[in-house]
Amino acid sequence: MDVTADRAEADCEAVSEMLSRVGDKWTIQVVVSLRSGSQRFNAIKRKVDGISQQMLIRTLKALERDGMVKRTVRHSAPPQVEYALTPLGLSLSQTVRHLADWVVTHREKIERNRLQYDIHKV
């Protein structure tokens, strides 16, 4: 078997898996909400409209596991937990910003294309 082909297939699988993780609705919104700096759980929950407490917990844990978010516990009474983007998470947020800019720039053209396609497919 071709080693290059095996490597390409493994890379493709890794990219697909990571795009599934970072491309989901909640991950993007959490990352964007943390761009402004470290925040406590409830502040993130208020910024991410519609996210449940359980989904926010899962999303933060997944981002922490991937090394994109750092969780810091402040030993006070009661303990305070803050979340912040790591350099890796910040680089993701910048990439997401570029993608968002692309969408905004091309949104109208894409909508026109969809309308034309739908008209011709009927």
- Per residue in 2-28, pLDDT (tens digit) is 778 788 888 888 888 888 888 888 999
Q: What is the pLDDT of residue 11?
A: 83
- Which of 53-62, 72-81, 108-117 has the lowest average pLDDT? 72-81
Closest CA to 88 of 69, 61, 62: 69
Q: What is the pLDDT of residue 1?
A: 54
Residue 89 corresponds to which amino acid? G
Summarised one tens digit per residue, pLDDT across range 36-51 is: 999 999 999 999 999 9
26, 55 contact by CB (below 8 A): yes
- Which of 11-15, 50-54, 90-94 has the lowest average pLDDT? 11-15
- pTM higher than 0.85 for the full model? no
**Spatial distance between the Cα atoms of 114 and 121, rounded to a whole number of angstroms:** 10
Q: Which domains does the chain have, with CATH numbers?
A: 3-121 (1.10.10.10)
- Stretch 73-89: mean pLDDT: 93
pLDDT > 80? residue 122: no
Summarised one tens digit per residue, pLDDT across range 96-107 is: 889 889 999 999
